[in-house]
Amino acid sequence: MLILVINCGSSSAKYQLFDIKKNKSVAKGIVEKIGEKGAVCKDHYQAIGIIRDRLLRDRKKILKDINELKGIGHRVVHGGEEFNKAVFIDKKVLRSIESASELAPLHNPPSLAGIKACKRYFSGIPQVAVFDTAFHQTMPAHSYIYGIPFDFYKKYKIRRYGFHGTSHWFVAGEAARILKKPLRKLKIITVHLGNGCSMTAVLKGKSVDTSMGFTPLEGLIMGTRSGDIDPAIVTFLMEKNKLSAEKVAEILNKKSGLLGISGLSNDMRDIICGMKKGNKRAKLAFDIFVYKIKKYIGAYQAVMGGADAVVLTGGIGENVPVLKNRLSNELRSALGAKTKFMIVPTNEELLIARDTYGLIK
């Protein structure tokens, strides 16, 4: 049974075809640089057309006719407060994703474009939306309400939403399987470290707190994002350097984090290479990166009254074993011997395919 997963970013459309009964990826690819100079297509609509043609023309002939597809699962970054699980996409759901675009102006519009294109190019195939925010909808109000006037929550829905939900949910489930215990009996801290970085306290299988907030800017130090800072820095910079709100947002999103501290790169591989060559600012960036993770582990351990496992995942979490060793050594006395440190590869696409199949079934 074939399920197609589509993940539309601002200038790319990734796809992966799953034989879901075998839990196996059978084809995958990406259409990149959408709308850029010299690109193969001008928008996401055309990109989905390219994906359909590629799948039908693949020499392995896995998909001979689009009607062999049983469903299409879309990654959608923001579901606002409305969605706590995957849903079939109908007109009402499309409107809700559209209205959540205000909260994720860079992410939701490409997903919407991808969904609309799939309606045309894969006509009649059921489509499902899987939201990055859905897993975190179990957070209690004391985790998601900010210490600002409550009216801003009521008027503009300013609150913590959290992201990377599919990844946190996937690796928490995998960790439970490895530990041979049901999720409902576990306290797990999941640490997703990729281009974006976030952590979640998963208590009895539910997200009770997470480090990203109203936007994916809050929390840990990331490749180019600042993570937590004193909000007064924003107004100070605006006044001192006569910067616009847009400019400050650009600094915090694109020029901060590992790149901003090291002055070298946003890529952890370059930071590690720089450290090995004795670059002091690369070492400082790495130390701050680790320190922030340690602080959040301590906080989430306190929130859940302990932790059975700390699970590292994402491009950095999966490929930098020294990070796991350092965290487990430095936190051993604080956490005790019971807490396991694990590396678990994430697979958001597989989970999206499973969620899609779960609804269709």
Residue numbers annotated as active site: 132
Query: By C-beta, is 1 or 288 nearer to ligand AMP?
Result: 288
Query: By C-beta, is 133 or 198 nearer to ligand AMP?
Result: 198
Which structure tokens are listed for 248?
């400050």
Give yes or no for residue 268 binding ligand AMP (CB under 6 A).
Answer: yes
Member of 314, 352, 354, 357 binding ligand AMP (CB under 6 A): 314
CA 287 to chain centre: 23
Residue 343 CA neighbour count, 13 Å, CB half: 14
Q: Supply the minimum distance, in Å, between the C-beta of residue 323 and ligand AMP.
A: 9
Which structure tokens are listed for 173?
């489930």
Which residues sit opposite 14 in a β-bridge? Answer: 7, 30
Q: How far apart are CA 226 and CA 260, in angstroms?
A: 8
Query: By C-beta, is 183 or 268 nearer to ligand AMP?
Result: 268
Closest residue to ligand AMP in the complex (CB): 315
Give yes or no for residue 76 binding ligand AMP (CB under 6 A).
Answer: no
Pairing relationship of beta strands 309-313 and 69-76 according to DSSP bridges: unpaired
- Residue count of the chain: 361
Stretch that binds ligand AMP, among 209-217, 232-240, 279-287, 311-319 (CB under 6 A): 311-319
H-state helical runs in 81-183: 91-100, 108-121, 141-144, 150-156, 165-179
Member of 110, 194, 227, 257 binding ligand AMP (CB under 6 A): 194
Q: Supply the minimum distance, in Å, between the C-beta of residue 192 and ligand AMP.
A: 8
Give yes or no for residue 267 binding ligand AMP (CB under 6 A).
Answer: yes
Give yes or no for residue 269 binding ligand AMP (CB under 6 A).
Answer: yes
Positions of E strands within the chain: 2-8, 13-19, 24-31, 69-76, 87-88, 127-131, 187-193, 197-203, 206-210, 309-313, 340-343
CA 130 to chain centre: 12
Stretch that binds ligand AMP, among 9-17, 100-108, 266-274, 280-288 (CB under 6 A): 266-274
Query: By C-beta, is 213 or 216 nearer to ligand AMP?
Result: 216
Query: By C-beta, is 167 or 356 nearer to ligand AMP?
Result: 167
Taking CB atoms within 8 Å and a gap of at least 24, the contacts of 247-252 are: 252/217, 252/225, 252/226
Give yes or no for residue 320 binding ligand AMP (CB under 6 A).
Answer: yes
Q: How far apart are CA 162 and CA 356, in angstroms?
A: 22
Give yes or no for residue 195 binding ligand AMP (CB under 6 A).
Answer: yes
Member of 99, 253, 319, 328 binding ligand AMP (CB under 6 A): 319
> How many positions of this chain bind ligand AMP (CB under 6 A)?
11
Q: Supply the minimum distance, in Å, between the C-beta of residue 315 and ligand AMP.
A: 2
Q: Supply the minimum distance, in Å, between the C-beta of residue 346 and ligand AMP.
A: 7
What part of residues 222-241 is at the interface with ligand AMP (CB under 6 A)? 223
Give yes or no for residue 316 binding ligand AMP (CB under 6 A).
Answer: yes
Query: By C-beta, is 79 or 314 nearer to ligand AMP?
Result: 314
Which structure tokens are listed for 282?
């690369």
Give yes or no for residue 221 binding ligand AMP (CB under 6 A).
Answer: no
Which residues sit opposite 203 in a β-bridge? Answer: 187, 206
Give yes or no for residue 69 binding ligand AMP (CB under 6 A).
Answer: no
Q: How far apart are CA 71 and CA 265, in angstroms?
A: 40
Q: Supply the minimum distance, in Å, between the C-beta of residue 155 and ligand AMP.
A: 34
Q: How far apart are CA 4 and CA 96, in angstroms?
A: 23
Which structure tokens are listed for 141?
């109000």
Query: By C-beta, is 74 or 164 nearer to ligand AMP?
Result: 164
Within 10 A of 50 (CB to CB), how many other CB atoms are there?
A: 17
Q: How far apart are CA 115 and CA 109, in angstroms?
A: 10
Give yes or no for residue 28 binding ligand AMP (CB under 6 A).
Answer: no
Q: Which residues bind ligand AMP (CB under 6 A)?
A: 194-195, 223, 267-269, 314-316, 319-320
